[in-house]
Structure 1
Amino acid sequence: MEPYTGRDRYETAAKIAEGLFTDGENKLVGAGVGLASGTNFPDALAGTSMLMLYAQPLLLTNPTSLSSHTKVFLQNHAGDVTDPEGNPDAFLDVLGGTGAVSSSTANAAMIAFS
């Protein structure tokens, strides 16, 4: 197994997501991604079991601004998941509410993933 290391926790989370949650065509294997604060662990810890149930990776971000590594991952995988009619149908599960990840950060993530 190859190590997944980045310069910080945000890059490391994106590398883990890329390495373990994409298929041979570099598409997401689950129905979306989870997003949590990279500065406080309880929401990420609690949300991981739900994310694993749906094969969704956990990405981390600064609470008040979208991490650049997270943004790139979301942009690279926008449109990977589609519904039976071919419409984009990916989920972005923001963990911890606006106290953990600000509304503007969550909106920036949703725009990047759209």
Structure 2
Amino acid sequence: MGVMCSQKYNKAAQLIQKDYKVLISNRLMINMTKEAAAIKIQKVWRGYQDRKLLKQKKKALVQPENINEINDVLNEEEEKKLSEAAIKITAAFVGTAERRSRIESISKENLTLFSRILKIL
């Protein structure tokens, strides 16, 4: 009877040990899953914060007053380029070399296009 008891005791101890190992591994898996979830949440949060910061920067760049300033600068640059091109084209078709040089010098001085050309012509 003593042998039977010790066998049953050993069997029970093995089952308990097995259950304990399963329990521990389940806890480890749960902890690993929690850690993985926490890491994913952190990544998502950082991505959200980065996108939010990027949106704020974009909004700061594209404020109405900034847009007007940018458009004004672009319009001024465009007008200069267009007026210089128009002056050069006009100078190419005007008769004498003297007139051409006078028209081109006006372009270099960045004067307004049509009023000066009309005065010369």
With the shorter chain as reference, the TM-score category is under 0.3
* Structure of higher CA gyration radius: 2
More strand by share: 1
User: Normalised by the size of structure 1, how large is the TM-score?
Assistant: 0.23
User: Normalised by the size of structure 2, how large is the TM-score?
Assistant: 0.22
More helix by share: 2
